[in-house]
């Protein structure tokens, strides 16, 4: 099993296509049930999403020491902390259309859900805050339009297109650099191979940083100082963590797992001193949140979980 998949985005996209076809055919479908930059500060709570194969996809948070697990919202994925950690933006998936995925925000205690998408056709997905907290970037998909990367003003709801998604590529997990000038994202081809891309916030200077052969995971993250990106690569095993500079140089594989044990979904701590990741053994069904130094040293288990999970994001301490 290629744990790069982690299901949510593929499940969401598959469901959206199926539901769209069912809607067009006049059928009643049965529903089934996926951006991050880490901002500098003291390490606070950790957000993540459980895999829908566990029954229902749920966003949860946990303290940095692995205690006080809190359930926030169901039928949701792709949590991203605001720079001040006062809200989490996420993707909400809906069983019927015309809005199949919407973007919403929630307070860390689970209160105050706000729908930013409204009754729009298609799917708004993979949201991520800009460093000033005033905007979010995300991907929009619909049945009769080109997939596009957009930004939205949190207060006014005004939407601006950054650029169309590159031809024959699906854009996943948009992340804005700490200086607000660059967006990194995962581009996935039809054969499910993925590569890391960057582009300017204005939509120019599109660059591919890694080869599709490397097959990066669907989750990436900027370091708080903007000097590196952390990725998961799956070309030679069950998943390993690596870092790379924003210009594509200095690729460094941090972990070297083989066999049944793999790692994925890595993000930086707000302090920049830790990398958080999922360590899994799919054969045995063991999944846990782990942390390590960016050079791979001082690895420590944070918390074990009974189900597959991903889309980690580490907020600052409020």
The CATH number of the domain where 120 resides is what?
Answer: 2.120.10.30
Query: What b/e sequence results for 39-76 when a residue is b if at least 16 CB atoms lie within 10 Å of its CB, and e otherwise?
Result: bbbebbbbbbbbbbeeeebbbbbbebebeeeeebbebb
Domain-embedded: residue 103? yes
Does 3 map to a domain?
no
In a domain, 1, yes or no: no
Instruction: Give the domain range for residue 81.
Output: 8-25+36-316
Task: Report how many domains make up the chain.
Answer: 1
Q: pTM for the full model? A: 0.87
Q: Which residues pair with 149 in a beta bridge?
A: 139, 163
* Average confidence (pLDDT) over 130-147: 91
For residue 73, give every residue at least 6 positions away whose Cβ sits within 8 Å of its Cβ, in sequence order, or none.
58, 59, 90, 92, 106, 110, 113
Cβ-contact 318, 44 below 8 angstroms: yes
Residue 49: inside a domain: yes
Query: Is residue 192, in this structure, part of any structural domain at all?
Result: yes
**What is the rounded average pLDDT for all residues in the chain?**
88
- Which residue's structure tokens are 């015309």? 98
Q: Write out pLDDT tens, residues 257-296.
A: 989 999 999 999 999 999 999 999 988 989 999 999 999 9
299, part of any domain: yes
Which residue did the predictor score with more confidence, 29 or 127? 127
Confidence of residue 51 (pLDDT cuts 50, 70, 90): confident
Which pLDDT score, from 0 to 100, does residue 54 have?
A: 64
Tell me if 293 is assigned to some domain: yes
Q: What is the pLDDT of residue 294?
A: 97
Q: Is 2 among the domain residues?
A: no
């Amino acid at each position: 099993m290629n744990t790069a998949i982690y299901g949510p985005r593929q499940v969401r996209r598959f469901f959206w296509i199926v539901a769209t076809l069912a809607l067009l055919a006049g059928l009643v479908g049965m529903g089934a049930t996926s951006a991050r930059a880490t901002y500098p500060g003291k390490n606070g709570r950790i957000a993540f999403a459980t895999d829908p194969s566990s029954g229902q996809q749920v966003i949860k948070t946990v303290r940095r020491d692995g205690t006080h697990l809190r359930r926030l919202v169901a039928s949701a994925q792709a949590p991203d902390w605001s720079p001040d950690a006062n809200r989490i933006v996420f993707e909400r998936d809906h069983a019927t259309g015309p809005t199949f995925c919407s973007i919403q925000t929630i307070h860390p205690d689970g209160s105050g859900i706000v729908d930013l998408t409204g009754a729009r056709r298609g799917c708004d997905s993979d949201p991520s805050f800009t460093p000033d907290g005033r905007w979010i970037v995300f991907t929009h998909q619909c049945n009769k339009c080109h997939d596009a990367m957009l930004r939205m003003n949190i207060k006014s709801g005004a939407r601006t297109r950054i650029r169309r998604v590159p031809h024959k590529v699906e854009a996943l997990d948009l992340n804005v650099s700490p200086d607000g000038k660059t967006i990194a994202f995962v581009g996935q081809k039809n054969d499910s191979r993925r590569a890391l891309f960057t582009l300017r916030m204005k939509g120019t200077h599109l660059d591919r940083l890694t080869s599709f052969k490397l097959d990066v995971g669907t989750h990436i993250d900027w370091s708080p100082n903007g000097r590196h990106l952390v990725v998961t690569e799956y070309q030679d095993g069950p998943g390993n963590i690596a870092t790379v500079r924003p210009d594509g140089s200095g690729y460094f594989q941090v972990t070297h797992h083989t066999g049944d044990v793999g790692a994925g979904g890595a993000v930086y701590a707000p302090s920049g001193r830790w990398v958080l990741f999922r360590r899994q053994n799919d054969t045995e069904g063991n999944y846990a949140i782990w942390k390590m130094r960016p050079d791979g040293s001082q690895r420590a288990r944070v918390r074990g979980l009974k189900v597959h999970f991903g889309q980690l994001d580490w907020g600052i301490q409020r």
